[in-house]
Amino acid sequence: MARYTGPITRKSRRLRTDLVGGDQAFEKRPYPPGQHGRARIKESEYLL
């Protein structure tokens, strides 16, 4: 299996959890990446 060398901060922002630990870029932008990242996410009981 290959080693993932891509943008880890983007993956952690997508999952809404800090994967690396102590990542300042994650604290700077806590919303998901992409064009619609800042839009409000409707919370539900089925949300992971």
- Chain-centroid distance of CA 7 in Å reads 11
Contact 24, 31 (CB under 8 A): no
Has residue 1 got a pLDDT over 80? no
Residue 16 has pLDDT above 80, yes or no: no
User: Rounded to an integer, what distance in angstroms lies between the CA atom of residue 31 and that of residue 38?
Assistant: 6
| Share of the chain residues as helix, strand and coil, in percent rounded to the nearest 5 | 25, 0, 75
pLDDT at residue 47, as a whole number: 66
End-to-end CA distance of the chain: 26
What SS3 class is residue 38?
A: coil
Confidence band of 22 (pLDDT split at 50, 70, 90): confident
Structure confidence at residue 7 as a pLDDT band (50, 70, 90):
confident
Average pLDDT over residues 24-48: 79
